[in-house]
Structure 1
Amino acid sequence: MQTVNIHEAKTHLSRLVDKAAKGEPFIIAKSGRPLVKVVPIDQPDAGAIRRIGFMAGAFSVPEDFDRMGSEEIEKLFDGDA
């Protein structure tokens, strides 16, 4: 992988970005110390299925979800527990 200093990166930015977009990432260094890695952004396919979360579809919510445990909660508030 190519490493360039900041001055060279500023001078040749268009050329370097074109190469990175084609799959040739590079590293920008300052005083010989690597700072950042420039890589192409992978764009998802337009028809890709979007997942809401890693558990999407793995469970279902019961119909009485809003009433579950209501008797126990009521007892706790009334002091009957």
Structure 2
Amino acid sequence: MKVNMHEAKSKLSALAEKVWEGETVVIAKAGKPYVDLLPHKEGRRPRKPGRFKGKIRIAEDFSQTPEDVIKAFEGEN
């Protein structure tokens, strides 16, 4: 949805509700896109190293790439 600056001022509450529900709202100035109206998202939680320890298994042959795959990447079909 694209609205002009004047309309955005007078309908900010309704536009904010649409954005919160997932709609994209672009506010235009002189007919050109000027700003995007976005919902507020809480900051990212701090990373906790090791939280997947013991939950991920890597196959024994993980680092062994089959010849046909290597040839395909190198363009040698």
TM-score per shorter chain, which class?
0.5 to 0.7
The answer to which structure has the higher helix fraction is: 1
Q: Which portions of structure 1, spanning 4 or more consecutive aligned residues, are displaced by more than 6 angstroms?
A: none
Q: Specify the alignment match of 2:47 in structure 1.
A: 51
Q: Which structure has the larger Rg over C-alpha atoms? A: 1
The alignment-based identity, stated in percent, is 42
1:64-75 matches, within 5 Å, as none
| TM-score (norm. length: structure 1) | 0.51
Rate the CA distance shift 1:13–1:49 in 2: closer, same or farther, 3 A: closer
- Structure 2 distance, partners of 1:13, 1:49, is 30
Q: Which runs of 5+ in 1 are unaligned?
A: 58-81
Alignment coverage as a number of residue pairs:
50
Structure 2 alignment gaps of length 5 or more = 51-77
Instruction: Supply the distance in 2 between the matched residues of 1:29 and 1:36 (Cα, whole angstroms).
Output: 7
TM-score (norm 2): 0.53
Within a 5 Å distance, the mapping from 1:19-58 to structure 2 comes to 19-43=18-42, 50-51=46-47
Aligned CA RMSD, in angstroms, stands at: 2.5
